[in-house]
Amino acid sequence: MSTEKQLKIGVLTSSGDAPGMNAAIRAVARTGAYHNMKVYGIMRGYEGLLSAEIEELEPREVSNIIFRGGTLLLTARCEEMKTVEGQERAANVAKVLGLDALIVAGGDGSLRGAQALSKLGVNVIGIPATIDLDMACTEYTIGFDTAINTGMEAINRIRDTSTSHERCSVVEVMGRSAGHLALWCGITGGAEEVMIPEYKELNTERVVQQIIENRSKGKRHNLIVVAEGVGGSVALAQELQSVLGIQSRATVLGHLQRGGAPTALDRMHASVMGYMAVEAVVRGERNKAGIVKDGRHALMDLDEALACTKPYDHSLYEMIKVLAI
Ligand code: ATP
């Protein structure tokens, strides 16, 4: 009989749900089982850690979830976790549960919560999962591909009706502080203008001029994509209609863009990230984040990952102007 201590790990999903989180949970549970670990699912992100709301995750309990959006473990935003007292309480719960590692799947804020726990002696491994792709340490975050495909498909449908009525369509997509989703949806949906938070100065006048110019070149319908963080898509459509006399309609995709079955790319990244996180624990690594760098999966020191900054890449935005001709 083996005398090796059985390792215990916890996994939680935090912040906004992202398609692919379930594939990551499945990979953690199964890789853990492969290594004879006890794997606990922690419900509702840090809320569930604070209240020790946990369930043992046997391999069969994660059957039939790889293709589902959302997260089996549920998720929540937890203000208490931002306080020193909350962090100390959460670290204490992790210690009482005897967790050898806590795997956290979520966005930048969620990984900052994990970092706070690491300073209090909890071994944490972060998995970047957010539809917004707004984490400087990695080239990819789980959920992004599904969210752009959902946005693009919605735009395709809106385009059909917009073309038939020779309308101007304004489509508001998700992305509060980063414009990646809007840019990708705009480019893949064939938009002529994209309004993103990184370019706050972009004004309606410019959009009006763009539409006038494009109509004079024979365009019979128009498609403008607006990021949630810029907002005001209904007002923009009304203004375009009154200024240009062209029928204009706004569609806000909202949470429709968050759900849905994860794409193959998201399932793949999530599976690799979940597997890598547990393998890191087996090797005795501490306080890491899974990342994609130069197209390859890797682990980075968590502090280093959260200190990364990335200058905004203007090239895609510049390209839209060319492709809208
Ligand atoms: P998304 O991209 O979906 O917004 P996120 O992880 O950045 O993902 P946040 O709402 O910023 O989303 O953070 C999720 C949770 O992580 C918060 O509700 C809180 O519990 C915890 N958290 C966020 N920031 C911190 C911080 N600086 N310190 C400790 N915990 C934090």
Q: pLDDT at residue 259 above 90?
A: yes
The catalytic site residues sit at: 132
Question: What's the fold here for domain 8-143+262-307?
Answer: Rossmann fold (3.40.50)
- Ligand 1 pocket test, pick from 81, 104, 117 with the greatest ligand atom count within 8 Å of Cβ, gives 81
Q: How confident is the model at residue 325 (pLDDT cuts 50, 70, 90)?
A: confident
Q: Which atom of ligand 1 has the smallest separation from the CA of 46? A: 20
Q: Which CATH number fits domain 145-258: 3.40.718.10, 3.40.50.460, 3.30.470.20, 1.20.1730.10?
A: 3.40.50.460
Report pLDDT digits (tens) over 74-89: 999 999 999 999 999 9
Report pLDDT digits (tens) over 189-205: 999 999 999 886 667 88
Q: Which residue from 322, 25, 314 is spatially nearest to 183, judged by alpha carbons?
A: 314
Over residues 110-118, the mean pLDDT reads 98
In the reported structure, the alpha carbon of residue 113 is separated from the centroid of ligand 1 by a whole-number distance in angstroms of 7
For residue 127, the model assigns a pLDDT of: 98
Atom 5 in ligand 1: which residue has the minimum CA distance?
107
For residue 122, the model assigns a pLDDT of: 98
In the reported structure, the alpha carbon of residue 105 is separated from the centroid of ligand 1 by a whole-number distance in angstroms of 11
If one compares 1 and 106, the residue with the highest pLDDT of the two is 106
SS3 of the chain? CCCCCCCEEEEEECCCCCCCHHHHHHHHHHHHHHCCCEEEEECCHHHHHHCCCEEECCHHHHCCCCCCCCCCCCCCCCHHHHCHHHHHHHHHHHHHCCCCEEEEEECHHHHHHHHHHHHCCCCEEEEEECCCCCCCCCCCCECHHHHHHHHHHHHHHHHHHHHHHCCEEEEEECCCCCCHHHHHHHHHHCCCEEECHHHCCCCHHHHHHHHHHHHHCCCCCEEEEEECCCCCHHHHHHHHHHHHCCCEEEEECHHHHCCCCCCHHHHHHHHHHHHHHHHHHHCCCCCEEEEEECCEEEEEEHHHHHHCCCCCCCHHHHHHHHHCC
- Ligand 1 pocket test, pick from 42, 44, 78, 110 with the greatest ligand atom count within 8 Å of Cβ, gives 110
Q: pLDDT at residue 248 above 90?
A: yes
In whole angstroms, give the CA distance from residue 131 to residue 316. 18
Which residue's structure tokens are 């400087």? 136
For residue 205, the model assigns a pLDDT of: 85
Atom 12 in ligand 1: which residue has the minimum CA distance?
15
Of 60-64, 199-203, 299-303, the one with minimum mean pLDDT is 199-203
For residue 112, the model assigns a pLDDT of: 98
Domain ranges of the chain: 8-143+262-307, 145-258
Over residues 289-304, the mean pLDDT reads 98
Encode burial over 279-292: b for 16+ CB neighbours within 10 A, e otherwise: ebbeeeeebbbbbb
Output the pTM of the full model: 0.96
In the reported structure, the alpha carbon of residue 110 is separated from the centroid of ligand 1 by a whole-number distance in angstroms of 4
Over residues 93-105, the mean pLDDT reads 98
Report pLDDT digits (tens) over 6-59: 999 999 999 899 999 999 999 999 999 999 999 999 999 999 999 999 999 999
In the reported structure, the alpha carbon of residue 47 is separated from the centroid of ligand 1 by a whole-number distance in angstroms of 12
Q: Which atom of ligand 1 has the smallest separation from the CA of 77? A: 18
Q: Which residue from 250, 232, 255 is spatially nearest to 174, judged by alpha carbons?
A: 255
The answer to whether 8-143+262-307 and 145-258 have equal CATH topology is yes
Over residues 91-119, the mean pLDDT reads 98
* Ligand 1 pocket, CB under 6 A: 14-16, 46, 77-78, 81-82, 106-110, 112-113, 116, 130, 132
Report pLDDT digits (tens) over 217-237: 999 899 999 999 999 999 999
- Ligand 1 pocket test, pick from 51, 83, 112 with the greatest ligand atom count within 8 Å of Cβ, gives 112
Q: Which atom of ligand 1 has the smallest separation from the CA of 76? A: 18
Q: Contact, 256 vs 203, CB < 8 A?
A: no
Mean pLDDT of the chain: 95
Kindly tell me the burial class for residue 73, based on how many C-beta atoms sit within 10 Å of its own C-beta (0-12, 13-18, 19 or more).
buried
Q: pLDDT at residue 324 above 90?
A: no
For residue 202, the model assigns a pLDDT of: 64
Q: pLDDT at residue 1 above 60?
A: no
In the reported structure, the alpha carbon of residue 79 is separated from the centroid of ligand 1 by a whole-number distance in angstroms of 8
For residue 37, the model assigns a pLDDT of: 98
For residue 321, the model assigns a pLDDT of: 82
